[in-house]
Amino acid sequence: MINELLDQKIKDEEKKHLLVKALKDNQLHIDEISKHKDSYLDKDVQVIVEALNEVSYAHPEITNSSWLSFLKTYINSSNNHIKRNVLLAIGNLSSLYPNNLDGILKTLLTHYKETNKELQLVKYDTLTKIIRLDKYKDSSYEKQVKEIGEALVANSSGLLNF
């Protein structure tokens, strides 16, 4: 089904709409999306993560922890649009799957610096959603994220230089 939804003849906005509908109607599952991830073009990934972000925000109850596994694949994408939607979706799902975030948290903290101000702020927002969870309270991760926040506030450009 995923290949039909990503047909090159369909415009991207319509693809996203069809993906969202298929996910909401339980006609498409993350396992099928993940199974084909090596064959996707960047523009396909972009549409897929937009749809996942939309569904994870509006209907988080239909997600599962496999969504995080798929999203993590693209967390360091060179495409800022993909990365932004991945981060937003992870933030949407973080409270539902707190036991599946260690690897994501480590990756975000290791690769924190961004040249795009909006992306850096979205990344910081995602990090704060994660460290607010009981599992990460008073942890070394929480301390790191607080230091990042202080550095963002101290730097009027909104970009980190450390």
Q: Name the CATH superfamily for 2-154.
A: Leucine-rich Repeat Variant (1.25.10.10)
Report yes or no: 76 and 41 within 8 Å, Cβ to Cβ: no
Q: Please, what are the averages of pLDDT over each run of 10 residues along the chain (162 residues)?
A: 89 96 97 95 96 98 97 96 98 97 95 87 96 95 93 71 46
| Residue 117: predicted pLDDT | 87
| Residue 157: predicted pLDDT | 62
| Residue 74: predicted pLDDT | 97
CA geometry: angle 91, 129, 145, nearest 5 deg: 120
| Residue 115: predicted pLDDT | 84
Query: Which among 119, 141, 123 is positioned nearest to 132, based on CA atoms?
Result: 141
Rounded CA-CA distance 38/110 in Å is 24
| Structure tokens, 141 | 């991760």
| Residue 112: predicted pLDDT | 83
Global confidence as pTM: 0.93
| Structure tokens, 74 | 């693209």
